[in-house]
Structure 1
Amino acid sequence: MVTVKPIADNNLLLRCATEQLGCPHFCSQGIKIPIYCFGTKYLIDNSLFGGVSHMSEEEQSLLDSLLLAQWEERMWKGHFKYDITASEIKVIRGRRKFLAQLNSDRSMDGLQDLKKHKMCHQEDVLVFEQTKHCEELLFCITNGDKADSELIPSAAVPNDAILIVINVNPIEYGHVFLVPHAFDRLDQVLDARFLEMVVRVAVEINNCSFRLFYNCPRHSRVYFQACYFPDLLPVEHMPVDILFDAGQKGIHISTVIDYPIKTLLFASNCNFKIMVEVLAETCSCLLDKDIPYNLMISDCGKKVFLFLQAQTLSTPCNLSAWECGGYFLFKSRQEFDEATEAVLLKRLSTVSLDDEGFATVKQSCCRIACKIAF
């Protein structure tokens, strides 16, 4: 993991008025933080991925440096509830190489009363508006008007921005929330604008260890989470079968083979915008059909895994996106020691969408891709 020095700027120590801490939506009035502005150069011809192709694997991007510097600064200041680097991690014996983490200190992400907030996810609850420390807000990301991306050391939070906020209960190094700020009509619906910005974060981070996760909300606002994993997650090792290939358009959609939860893989090496548009409309279709889903963005934004779950009486609570990817957290030493591949396979397959539903989703996905790509 690359270690970088924190930015020396006393203005980064944020101070919020008391009324801002309890409001139902984040209030940015009077706050000045670092602003990372996306450049416009590589959005021409929808070829964003070419914008970072010149960088070597050893060269750290500006956005990657900024995120790690700010996150490590908060770690040094004691803003996290525990030291995530001390957590024990093991590979579960078996063909799929599931990963298990023992973390007895992990608790809810700021929520104490699940019933009050009508949430059933146990690992991904965001209540940034209830935070007691405004320093949990690291910086924000927005679209700029200059050719190259740039960092403004201190400025007011603009509209249509993404707030980068630490998760005080991290599951891995660099764990943050990506929260939309002042996006019109963006509450429980993941729209193409926000999704495009989030995927672009992965592109400009340009670090293969960086993953982004999304859990389709039922009773909360839209947001992503992200952190760094040193190795590929189990689902990334699985073979795929191409379902849709747009040829020179540069995107293709595949089904992940021999995996316990039904999964589609959206991939592109060049046509960033079309991939995002197809994915966004597919997610909207799933929401209309009341099909729970999760997303995992990997490979510097070139791949997006779509996990499909079934909401039934026997599975009232959905798995988190990292669980769908094969990374499981355990609070008890006994459960951690006794975890087997068979147990985790059952955990995933139990919540998976059935074959009939998966066939319907694949048909809808191909129809959407044909409409947008051609």
Structure 2
Amino acid sequence: MACRRASSNMAVSLGASQEQPHHPATSSLEDFVYEEEDFVLPGIGWWRSRSEGPASRPLSRFDNALQSGWEEKMKLGLFRYHLGELQTRIMPGKVRFVAQLNIQRGLERRRPQDIQSVRQRFDPQQFHFNKIKPGEILFRMTRAPACHPPTRGCSQNQGDPSESRLPGIPSYVLMVINVSPLEFGHVLLIPDPTLCLPQILTQELLQFGLESVLLSAHPGFRVGFNSLGAFASVNHLHLHGFYLDWELLIETAPAEPLCPTLNFHFLKDVPAPGFLFYSEGGELGALAHNICRVTDHLVEKEIAHNVFVTRGTAPRGPTHSEAHSGIRVIIWARKSSFGTKEEAAFNVALCELAGHLPIKTAQDFQNLTETSAIDIIQRHLLPEPQLSHLQSQLVTILTE
């Protein structure tokens, strides 16, 4: 099937194209169908000691499907390299960065595309997900009919979120292995690839990401998004998902309320301050809609950004609560990194801003300190006056 248009409006705003290559046939794919009853909503806490570990916890149906399929693909040699247990170091200091040595990803991952704009159009001549091997797809993820889908793509966010869905917006995502994994279970969540949507976040895809975190019984299953100019390496719409068996500071760090009725806060006292939405699992469509109002503004203003979804505590609750009773969605507005430049120790994308540092070389893995890591990260953040002005704009947008 060739790339097709989602609708005439979306084709103009998102750059969908009609003359594109085919993507792998999906008619024979296994479907993972879920409903809200599958969400693991009670507070999920971290194990008290490393000896307990994830093996001591029962997996959810979602975890079983993802992990068993991912491990089978690894046995079949469909990845660019074999990913064993990564050497991990919790860096001394207040932040407790999780540094992991992943030399092969640094050497063998696909070269990032040359990006020059947050709103760059989809280019069929570049690599895109219609070119992946059919064997790289784990399953097609879709909601049961009783589960109400979100209503609008992020770039079409005017109006009430209860309005009917835009024609052509897919009601499923493909769960695809990342062939250059940064951690166990590293996958991509890709909406219908034939729409050829550029890397601009949509409400539909975001809600699938939010629901994926709630479908997992593992406190360390994370989902994230890199915009163009924020180290997205492929300009074809996708989210990242992966497991990390370590707690991160951003899961419990306090946040200052900005719009309490919308659970919109400012995350501070972390190396990379950012905007935070919080939910305990209800009204995910409304949550995705409001997050997209923020990211749409960033796209309009050509501000690069990263989004990170994780289990976490309430922003104004106990900072050391064992139970992570909800999900935190952090949005970082940051300086753009255009071109194909690679940083020395690590690139600053969604993982690094969250406190997870995949390191490319053994020397950097051994020598990197908390101070030097914070310095690298903060070079990519917006200056405080610009961030403060942006905060005022977002509060106005969300309260209109």
CA deviations over 1:4-60 (Å, ceiling 9, x no partner): xxxxxxxxxxxx9xxxxxx95552446411112243xx4xxxxx8x95437988453
Helix, strand or coil: the match of 2:292? helix
Pair 26,343 (structure 1): closer, same or farther in 2 beyond 3 Å:
farther
Residue 271 (structure 1) aligned to one of 279, 283, 287: 283
Helix, strand or coil: the match of 2:185? strand
Pair 139,109 (structure 1): closer, same or farther in 2 beyond 3 Å:
farther
1-side partners of 2:85 and 2:359: how far apart?
14
Helix, strand or coil: the match of 1:140? strand
Length-normalised TM-score, structure 2: 0.71
Is 1:69 equivalent to 2:68 in the alignment?
yes
Q: Which moved more, 1:181-190 or 1:81-90?
A: 181-190
* Moved >6 Å (runs of 4+): 54-57, 312-318
Q: Which residue does the alignment assign to 1:244?
A: 259
CA contact under 8 A between 2:224 and 2:306: conserved in structure 1?
yes
CA contact under 8 A between 1:261 and 1:351: conserved in structure 2?
no
Pair 174,25 (structure 1): closer, same or farther in 2 beyond 3 Å:
farther
CA contact under 8 A between 2:220 and 2:245: conserved in structure 1?
yes
Q: Which moved more, 1:27-36 or 1:340-349?
A: 27-36
Is 1:321 equivalent to 2:350 in the alignment?
yes
Is 1:187 equivalent to 2:198 in the alignment?
yes
2-side partners of 1:314 and 1:81: how far apart?
24
2-side partners of 1:56 and 1:96: how far apart?
22
Unaligned 5+ residue runs, structure 2?
Answer: 2-18, 46-56, 117-125, 149-168, 313-325
Q: Which structure 2 residues correspond to residues 1-374 of structure 1 after superposition, within 5 A?
A: 27-29=23-25, 31-39=27-35, 42=36, 52-53=40-41, 58-107=57-106, 111-112=110-111, 114=112, 117-119=113-115, 127-131=128-132, 133-146=133-146, 159-181=170-192, 186-217=197-228, 220-246=235-261, 251-269=262-280, 270-299=282-311, 302-311=327-336, 319-371=348-400
1-side partners of 2:220 and 2:32: how far apart?
21
Q: Which residue does the alignment assign to 2:155?
A: none
Pair 146,59 (structure 1): closer, same or farther in 2 beyond 3 Å:
farther
Structure showing the higher helix proportion among its residues = 1
Pair 32,315 (structure 1): closer, same or farther in 2 beyond 3 Å:
closer
CA deviations over 1:144-164 (Å, ceiling 9, x no partner): 31469xxxxxxxxx9542111
Residue 74 of structure 1 and its aligned partner are, at CA, apart by 1.2
Pair 356,232 (structure 1): closer, same or farther in 2 beyond 3 Å:
same
How many residues matched? Answer: 322
Helix, strand or coil: the match of 1:163? strand
CA deviations over 1:269-328 (Å, ceiling 9, x no partner): 233222211101110000111111101111187211111212379997772100111111
Helix, strand or coil: the match of 1:207? coil
Residue 109 of structure 1 and its aligned partner are, at CA, apart by 7.0
1-side partners of 2:378 and 2:77: how far apart?
39
CA RMSD between the two structures: 3.3
Length-normalised TM-score, structure 1: 0.76
CA contact under 8 A between 1:315 and 1:350: conserved in structure 2?
no
